[in-house]
Amino acid sequence: MSMRLGVNIDHVATLRNARGGTHPDPVEVALAAIGAGADGITLHLREDRRHIRDEDLARMSAAISKPINLEMAATDEMLAIACGVQPHAACIVPERRTEVTTEGGLDVAGQQARLGPMIARLSAAGIRVSLFIDPDPVQIRAAAALGAPVIELHTGAYAHGRVGELERLQTGAHLAAELGLECHAGHGLTFQNVTPIAAMSQVKELNIGHFLIGEAILIGLPAAIRQMRSLMEKARS
Ligand code: PXP
């Protein structure tokens, strides 16, 4: 299949942390996700460590052979951690302490002075950098101008049913490809809404977490991943 599925396991840690113990273990679940067909594992080490923690990232990096995509805020602390762990990819996301989840895309155009050196440092460490942005041509052009090789388009507004958002994503994916950016997408994707996103030939990777982990409670993680992959394949053919 030409499109990769990255499984975000943050919410396995949310569940574990609810009881303060070690079960369920995000690393064990990542291995199960890979066994079921995940092409990579995505995890977001937040500033407040509300789900994944530093030791999870270290154990993940030692235990799995598939690519790790580390979602991170544009802070010096996260930059140092990423350069130390050296995941395959780092996706820079906006982060606010009070938000429930990543609410909007990164303001690349407004933060060029901060992001430019950070992209350069991560790239020099051999990490493939992606920027999590809204499908806004200004942001997409700014990402290309800063030399990021990848963007991840925020599908949250589409998932919430915002009118015209699918068209914005399609236009954004076209523009990214024209500018030579590899285009990924994610946030809020489910069995019900994934098909139009997976059908975009410019989108090379989807990162999906909350829905798959929730669905795993009902049908099991391997079945949830297989069904998602099957929908992605059908959308592509
Ligand atoms: N991509 C990015 C950059 C994200 O921040 C998130 C949420 O952590 C996701 C994808 C996955 O979103 P969801 O959990 O809604 O599938």
Strand, coil or helix: what is 65?
A: coil
Ligand 1 pocket test, candidate residues 68, 191, 203, 210, most atoms within 8 A of CB: 210
Closest ligand 1 atom, CA of 187? 12
Q: Is 152 in the pocket of ligand 1 (CB under 6 A)?
A: yes
Rg from Cα positions in the chain: 17
Alpha helices (H) along 36-146: 54-63, 76-85, 112-124, 137-145
Find the 8 Cα to ligand 1 centroid distance in Å: 7
In Å, how far are 83, 138, 146 from 77, measured between CA atoms? 10, 28, 21
Say if ligand 1 is within 6 A of residue 189 CB.
yes
pLDDT of 100 above 90: no
CATH code (residue 161) = 3.20.20.70
Q: Which atom of ligand 1 is nearest to the CA of 213?
A: 14
Give the distance (Å) from ligand 1 centre to CA of residue 71.
9
- The model's pTM is 0.96
Q: Which residues are catalytic?
A: 44, 71, 187
What's the 145 CA to ligand 1 centre distance in angstroms?
24
Q: Which residue has the higher pLDDT, 190 or 102?
A: 190
Q: Is the pLDDT of residue 164 over 70?
A: yes
Rounded to the nearest angstrom, the distance between the alpha carbon of 134 and the centre of ligand 1 is: 13
By alpha-carbon position, which residue is closest to atom 5 of ligand 1?
102
Find the length of the chain: 237
The domain tally of the chain equals 1
Question: What pLDDT band is residue 1 in, cutting at 50, 70 and 90?
Answer: low
- The strand pairing partners of 66, in sequence order, are none
pLDDT at 97 over 70: no
Cis peptide before 117 (omega within 30 of 0): no
Alpha carbon distance 41, 162 (integer Å): 28
Residue with CA nearest ligand 1 atom 11: 187
Predicted local confidence at residue 25, as pLDDT: 98
Domain that holds residue 210: 4-236
Question: Residues 30-83: pLDDT tens digits?
Answer: 999 999 999 999 999 999 999 999 999 999 999 999 999 999 999 999 999 999
